[in-house]
A and B are shown apart, each in its own frame.
Chain A
């Protein structure tokens, strides 16, 4: 079996996605009142279009992708595992997910400050005092503008205000 190039891989993934999408499009229920174009037509057309485009993509010669070579290879070879470029992305993504779930129980100010201080330190910033002050300052300023001036409700969480 010949090795697939990048575009061919992508095309296969997209085609699978398009097929799943089409399957779902066929599940869209028919509206009881007659409509010239019902809710299912657009999804079906979109799914089919994506399927067709993925075939085109399969046969397109992959060009050089700007930026793909700029990945920080130095850090991935030498640094510790948890500081490799991909680890940074994964940790950040997990931190955002954790933030989403902790926002309401912890409250806006605490959760946001924690996220900001934590990630900044993780990215390699060593002046922790400056880090804490800036993060807290920005978060508090945003919080007070939103809640006090604009009357927008944000979760207070464990803090009394």
Chain B
């Protein structure tokens, strides 16, 4: 009997102790994690979110930036919706972070998640990638305008992408089309099961063009390749193997599209914890290990702190919903 109640006491005392630590830390205006941080990739191993989560965890550990471990956890399902639903229940938990990118805005807009970005705490934007338009090397189209002129004449011309209609690749090309003076829904967008799948079909001549992530396409461009890039969605030209690719703006279309990646936390995360993570990620971006990893993955740093990131997300939501409503895909 005594041992049982002792055990009970211990169970009660543990969270109490944790609470006191948090309280004292908060008083000192400096919060530090008291246990390992759960860093959720809302997808299966191997994808973009997973790579971000694992790379960030590894760099932080390697460089000894945090006292506590970052534990990578995969919660796949529903394009992120399963993980979001779980994290939304964990309100106020300062030890729970997750990787995020445009689907955080797009999936809720398509009506496939009860939670949207306003339900979570923005922590920091980390980096970004851009969209790129590819055609076969021997294609008659020399620039983006050629492609859109042809699209105007023949609306059946097929443009492949790596995700479902209404998600990232489709929004990117539809937004570009309306900036170029076409109807957003005029693009015959063919969804494939991934950017690689779409590019294979382009090489085989089954479709006319492909819209995909610039990072994903790097290996397909350059000397002797079967594909050619018509334009990239960044505001300025990218470096490395993509230095030759003109931006849309250079070609007279005022349009840019970011495939940003960032970190968000559980709802109502304490301010002190947010401040701690902001600083941690800013510091991480300065390390050599991060530099090396992100060069190899073709990532471009695009840090924003919590407040800027939050405002940026609101902006993105506005931009995406206008494209979606042009397409007639916005769910009320």
Chain A residues in the interface with B (C-beta under 8 A): 31-33, 151, 153
Contact = CB atoms under 8 A, between A and B. Distances in A.
Contacts of B329: 32-33
B73 A32 contact: no
B306 interface: no
Contacts, number: 12
B71 A32 contact: no
B327 A33 contact: yes
A69 to B, nearest CB: 43
A33 B325 CA distance: 12
Contacts of A32: 327-329
B108 interface: no
Contacts of A153: 71, 73
Nearest to B45: A152
A31 B329 CA distance: 8
Interface residues of B, number: 8
A153 B71 CA distance: 9
Interface in B227-247: none
A33 B328 contact: yes
A124 to B, nearest CB: 34
A-side interface mostly: loop
Interface string B68-108: 00011100000000000000000000000000000000000
A151 B45 CA distance: 12
Contacts of A33: 165, 185, 327-329
Top 7 A-B pairs, shortest CB-CB distance: A32-B328, A153-B73, A33-B185, A32-B329, A33-B328, A153-B71, A33-B165
A99 B101 CA distance: 35
Contacts of B73: 153
Nearest to B185: A33
12 contacts: A31-B165, A32-B327, A32-B328, A32-B329, A33-B165, A33-B185, A33-B327, A33-B328, A33-B329, A151-B72, A153-B71, A153-B73
B191 to A, nearest CB: 11
Nearest to A153: B73
B202 to A, nearest CB: 21
B218 to A, nearest CB: 29
Most buried by B among A33, A151, A153: A33
Interface string B108-124: 00000000000000000
A95 B327 CA distance: 49
Contacts of B72: 151
A153 B73 CA distance: 7
